[in-house]
Structure formats: structure tokens, C-alpha cells
Amino acid sequence: MGFSVNGNGKNLISEINVTPFVDVMLVLLIIFMVTAPMMLQGEKVNLPEAGSGNITREDINWIITITEDKKIYFNKSLVEIGYLQSFLQDKLEKENKSPEVFIKGDKNVPYGMVVSVMSKIKAAGIKNVGMITIPVSSE
């Protein structure tokens, strides 16, 4: 707040000083810009190695993650395996297209669990299923 220079002191200048506000907003913007990529990581899984072609971000429609503790995530949303088929069917009806689904399974997950998830995906009517792995290291 400022006061007038007239001398009578009755005129009050009621302008808001926006400089501190802008400073705080810029600090918050920087904090969000730094932390946003950390939030997009998803569930941590230990991927198996395989020699195959690379996929780009544009190729990925849906990702189903199977963690080491046998939890299933659909694009970061936790889904019980019993509801996976109906969940995917609902998604298919809403999107009205046939997406490509990629399974990102931890290498310590039992093979039967991955096969069970794949069968639920196929039963939901999805034809294109891929696996996300890390490239084979050249040793």
C-alpha cells in the first residue's frame, strides 16, 4: 500500500503490488516443471531382456503393467485380474477402436500370470498384444 504525496494524507493508493505474487508463481512453476516428469514414471518393474525392434511413444496406446508383487495396472490405474476383461471391454466400447496393448511385466512374475493376463486381453476382443522389454546387452 502506498500513500499520497499531497500532505493531507487522506488519499490512499489502493494498488496491489504484483511483484511478490509473480515471484511465488514462478517458483511454483519451476517446482512443478521439475517434479512433473517424476510423476509420469509409473510402476517400477524389472523388465526382461529381448532382442526385438524398438517402439516409439506414438505406437503405445495402452500399457498393462504387472509388478513383481503381482499387481496389475492399466495405464497407472490398479485393476484386479478378475475385472481386467470387463474393464478392457468397457474401454473398448468407449474408445470405439481396436488399440494395441503392450504388456510390461516384471521378469520375476511367474509366466502363468503373464499368460493369464494375455488371455484376458484376448477375451476382451483385443487382437494386437505386444511385450515391452529392454534390449539385450551386448556382452
Model confidence at 4, pLDDT cuts 50, 70, 90, reads low
105-117 pLDDT per residue, tens: 888 888 888 889 9
Same domain, 21 and 62: no
62 within domain boundaries: yes
Residue 27 above 90 pLDDT?
Answer: yes
What pLDDT, on a 0 to 100 scale, did the predictor assign at position 94?
Answer: 85
Name 106's Cβ contacts closer than 8 Å, sequence gap at least 6.
Answer: 45, 46, 47, 66, 67, 68
Domain, as residue range, for 101: 57-131
45 within domain boundaries: no
Same domain, 20 and 80: no
Same domain, 68 and 16: no
68 within domain boundaries: yes
127 within domain boundaries: yes
Same domain, 20 and 86: no
b/e per residue 13-38 (b: at least 16 CB within 10 A): eeeeeeeeeeeeeeeeeeeeeeeeee
Same domain, 125 and 69: yes
Residue 38 above 90 pLDDT?
Answer: no
Question: Which stretch of 22-31, 34-43, 110-119 has the lowest confidence by average pLDDT?
Answer: 34-43
Q: Report which of residues 26 and 43 the model is more confident about.
A: 26
> How much is the average pLDDT of 44-52?
60
What pLDDT, on a 0 to 100 scale, did the predictor assign at position 68?
Answer: 86
52-71 pLDDT per residue, tens: 555 555 555 788 989 888 89
Same domain, 67 and 26: no
Number of domains in the chain: 2
Same domain, 118 and 70: yes
CATH number of the structural domain spanning residue 101: 3.30.420.270
Residue 119 above 70 pLDDT?
Answer: yes
* The C-alpha cell that represents 115 in the structure block: 499368460
22 within domain boundaries: yes
Torsion of the alpha carbons at 53, 54, 59 and 65, rounded to the nearest 10: 100
* DSSP codes of every residue in 66-135: E-TT--EEETTEEE-GGGHHHHHHHHHHHH-S--EEEEEE-TTS-HHHHHHHHHHHHHTT--EEEE--BP
The percent of residues above 90 in pLDDT, for the chain, comes to 12
